[in-house]
Amino acid sequence: MSLIGDKFREVIISVLPVAIIVLILNFTLVPLDTPMLFSFLLGSVFIVAGLTLFLIGVDIGITPLGGLIGNSLLKTNKLWVIVAAGLILGFLISIAEPSLLVLANQIELVTSGEITSVTILVVVSLGLAVMVSFGLVRIMFNIPLFKILTVLYAIVFVLAIFTTPEFLAISFDASGATTGVLAVPFILAISIGISIKKKDSKSGEKDSFGLVSIASVGAIISVMLLNIITATGSLDPVLDLNIPETTSAVEPFLSMLGPVLKESLISLLPLLVILLILQKVSFKLHRKAFIRIIKGFVYAFLGLVLFLLGVNAGFMDVGSSIGYTITSMNNNLYLIIMGFVLGVVTILAEPAVYVLTNQIEDVTSGYVKRKAVLLAISIGVGLAVALSMVRVVIYDLQLWHYLLPGYILAVGLMYVAPKLFVGIAFDAGGVATGPMITTFILAFTHGAADAKEGANILVDGFGMIAMVALAPIITLQILGLIFKIKSKKGGGSNNG
């Protein structure tokens, strides 16, 4: 019961600020229809219950499975097995990631089917799968992470020259969306499962992080290549913010139940199949340990259903409505400030962020405090959403004006920040963009872009996820520099 209590307290503290902000807006700047407001409140309850169950499932089911797979891969000591496992697991995890499913459906909707959701899912998943394999090989051969990321982002910068603005935004957004509530804990567990078995404990600690960051670059490169190879030109977005009217707060939940059950089952079924196969041929866990992991999957499934119901039926319409209404006031300062506030409070509700921050504290034996990491991520994400609102209101400001100097700074910091923080920072960039960002905040951004005359929803409405992914990379490496300076002044050791 202590696990349930701990997770519940953790979730209620993170979700409550979002609900409070929306309630304040409802009674001040953005009055909401009564059914929509009650749907939001019901959605908040679903999200609290869903996140609690999901995080319990992650702890006792998904994360242990990833660790077992990592240990098994290390025992084989065969490069081809590791590469093949990375390809298969990477593809299955990505194509079932709820955040990517949401983003792919939104892209298909906005482009009127010019880019189908299946195309985005397959292309992004292939890119992530290739990079997961590459990241596992990096761990095995102790290749420094900063060197790998320097080369990969150099490739990204070159490809960006030949990529259209719409696909530039989609590629970076897909990178953030594919590393969400399902992919992050699993990939981290595989990475840690391999690296902790190394004889060099310091090297193992540093190699525990970085696999998520490498994997996410694969999504960027694959979408850019899709644009370049297929010679897809500019796309015409469909600007139609269609918030359905309803007289019942329960109706949206009933209509979403079927699709959410299907999505949740698709998300977890591949991993369950992998567990059953490997239990038979490799793991051979005792019955009690095996049943515990199965229970974890049940908790994760129930939690994912409740969470996605709460987000899709209770949060998305509210996000779009708030963004549209505030932008319609023609007060740009309101929009920018609200972007910052919503970015800060929403990131606290991301389950993947909690998974990462807890694992960071565990792996570093408390050297890196969870609260310090969470604070840095929250501030960074708040600034990222605020800057995205600036891009909505200033027509000539383009996404690459942010991303080019931002990633140059991020890559430069890799050479001076402690190497442990490099992996943590780039992984945090991936995990910050979970389902809350790809639904509530993306809906808020779309609403803002829809209300702003002259804005393009594909160019201005997308790209926010890319900004959110970049912010923690910079802020956490700066945090690493602070730790490094403090440790030197105190005469202690550091992980640089």
3-state SS, 263-288, equals HHHHHHHHHHHHHHHHHHHHHCCCHH
pLDDT reported for residue 351:
61
Cα–Cα nearest to 227, from 165, 151, 179: 165
C-alpha pair distances (Å), 456 with each of 90, 237, 240, 400: 33, 7, 12, 15
Please give the helix or strand (H or E) that residue 435 lies within, else none: helix 435-436
**In terms of Cα–Cα distance, which of 103, 66, 480 is closest to 316?**
103
DSSP state for residue 144 in the 8-state scheme = -
The answer to whether 1 and 279 have CB atoms below 8 angstroms apart is no
How many of the other CB atoms lie within 10 Å of CB of 367?
Answer: 16
Per-residue DSSP letters for 189-251? HHHHHHHTTSS-HHHHHHHTSSHHHHHHHHHHHHHHHHHHHHT---------------S-SSH
Its pTM stands at 0.78
pLDDT at position 239, please?
Answer: 46
pLDDT computed for residue 355 by the predictor: 67
Give the separation between CA 271 and CA 284, rounded to whole angstroms. Answer: 17
Give CA–CA dist 173/177, Å, rounded: 6
* Residue 270 CB contacts under 8 Å (≥ 6 apart), including other chains: 92, 93, 96
Whole-number pLDDT of residue 377: 83
Q: Pick the closest to residue 100 from 81, 74, 119, 80 (CA basis).
A: 119
14: nearest Cα among 43, 50, 48? 48
Contacts 24+ apart (CB under 8 A), 451-456: 451/241, 451/323, 451/324, 451/325, 451/327, 451/328, 452/327, 452/392, 452/393, 454/395, 455/392, 455/395, 456/237
The pLDDT score that the predictor gives to residue 201 is: 46
Predicted pLDDT at 204:
47
Cα first-last separation, the chain: 39
Per run of 10 residues, the mean pLDDT along the chain (length 496 residues) is 76 80 88 88 90 86 81 74 85 81 80 82 92 85 82 91 87 82 74 61 54 86 90 58 62 85 83 87 88 93 88 82 87 89 79 69 72 83 91 85 90 85 76 73 85 75 86 85 76 51
